[in-house]
Structure 1
Amino acid sequence: MSEKINTYTVTIYTENNIGLLNRISAIFQRRKINIESLSASESEIDDVFKFTLVVNITEHQMEKIKGQIERQVEVIKAFYHTDEETIFTESGLFKIKSELLFEEPQIQNIIKDSHARIVTVNREFFVLEKSGRRSEIDLVHRELKPFGIMQFTRSGRIAVTKTEMPISTLLQQIKDEQEAAFAKA
């Protein structure tokens, strides 16, 4: 009997070093696992960065990959969570010809019904921003497509866990230890 494939949000706390993202993605590539989404940002701790990836794999695969990720020197800690354990969102930007905003009432309905917001308007185009679940952004994309989308981009998932993450305490302890060691040197 095969294991169930789940969607996991993988959070990796790291030092900010060149080439680390390449090595992390290679871990997935070697196992022929597609990264569905990727974002990188600062974390809640100074000088600690956070990669957020989304993958569809079994828990057994996820456990093995987590171990490989944590073996990377610059990785402080990696976690994975199911969709039910996280609060997450993505964002999509849609660039559309400006004339359609005023000539096509359906466009205004799409904006209103989807709770999208207009980011900018000029003579040639306007830009809509829609944040939410991937399915919500996909719906807006399908509805706008017949009118002609000049450009479209979607962000990677950003996420926080529903439960408390002990990582903040752990990261602060590591930082304090590093500063103490540096002060002694």
Structure 2
Amino acid sequence: MQKEYTVTVYTEDRIGITNRITIIFTRRGINITSLTTAETEIPGVYKFVITVMSTREKLEKVVGQIERLIEIHRAFVHDEDEVVYQELALYKISTKSLEQGDIERVIRENQARILTITSEYFVIEKTGHQQELLDFTKVLEPYGLIEYTKSGRVAIIKWSRRFHEHLKDLQKKEAAIS
């Protein structure tokens, strides 16, 4: 049965690695719904957080293929209950709505905040899960929503401590060799 999974991939910083990883998903007919990448706490090691709709069986095969790439340290498939995650959304709203008075209450009640205000628009920031961010979009539409954009998933794995210790050990060994 298809459901949403989070795939994490720990890589070295190499040109073209994003392309090589995404091609593996494409060849298996798996659409990536979100992809976020950033350097980890270990210099030179990057973490890809990939959100997909698929079956566990198909993803296990994809992870096996990804791990065969030279630049890959490890790759994992996670169920939703194995990750703590958030997404970030920005909403551009017409400044005219500030005159209505209750937009500030709506922002507070939804744990959002105003980032900037100009004469034409203001920008609201909100973090949360995808559906929560989409629901907030509907709340803001009557106030003159001009534009909406959302980041990919940022996730921390609940059980990843041993693996991160392994990466830190690798870093120490590389430093000793240098």
TM-score range, shorter chain: over 0.9
Paired residue type of 2:138: R
Q: How does 1:25-44 map to 2 (within 5 A)?
A: 25-44=22-41
1:12-47 Cα deviation digits (max 9, x unpaired): 111111110011011111111111111111112111
In structure 1, distance between residues paired with 2:5 and 2:73: 19
| 1:140 aligns to 2:136 (yes or no) | yes
Deviation at 1:112, TM superposition (A): 2.5
Deviant stretches of 4+, over 3 Å: none
Q: Distance in 1 between matches of 2:71 and 2:146?
A: 40
Q: Provide the C-alpha distance between the structure 2 equivalents of 1:34 and 1:27, rounded to a whole number of angstroms.
A: 11
- 2:39 maps to a residue whose letter is E
Q: Is the 8 A contact 1:6 1:82 kept in 2?
A: no
Q: Which residue of 2 aligns with 1:131?
A: 127
Aligned pair 1:47/2:44, yes or no? yes
Separation in structure 2 between the aligned mates of residue 130 and residue 123 of structure 1, nearest angstrom: 22
Contact 2:97 2:144 in 1 (8 A): no
Contact 2:28 2:62 in 1 (8 A): no
* Structure 2 length-normalised TM: 0.92
Tell me if the contact between 1:111 and 1:117 (Cα under 8 Å) persists in the aligned partners.
Answer: yes
* Matched residue type, 1:89: Q
Question: How many Å separate the matches in 2 of 1:59 and 1:13?
Answer: 19
1:73 aligned residue: 70
How far apart, in 1, do the equivalents of 2:107 and 2:160 lie? 35
2:161 matched to 1:165? Answer: yes
Q: Aligned pairs, how many?
A: 178
How well do the aligned residues superpose, as a CA RMSD in angstroms?
Answer: 1.5
Which of 16, 19, 37 pairs up with 1:19? 16
Q: Using a 3 Å threshold, how does the CA distance of structure 1 residues 78 and 164 change in structure 2: closer, same or farther?
A: closer
**Mapped partners of 2:66, 2:105: distance in 1:** 45
TM-score normalised to structure 1 length: 0.89
Gaps of 5+ in 2: none
Q: Counterpart in 2 of 1:118?
A: 114
Q: Which ranges of structure 1 fall in alignment gaps of 5 or more residues?
A: none
8 Å Cα contact 1:93/1:127 also seen in 2 = yes
Q: Deviations over 1:138-180 (max 9, x none)?
A: 0011122243322211000001122243221111222233334
Task: From 53, 60, 78, give the equivalent of 1:56.
Answer: 53
- Equivalent position of 2:84 in the other structure: 87
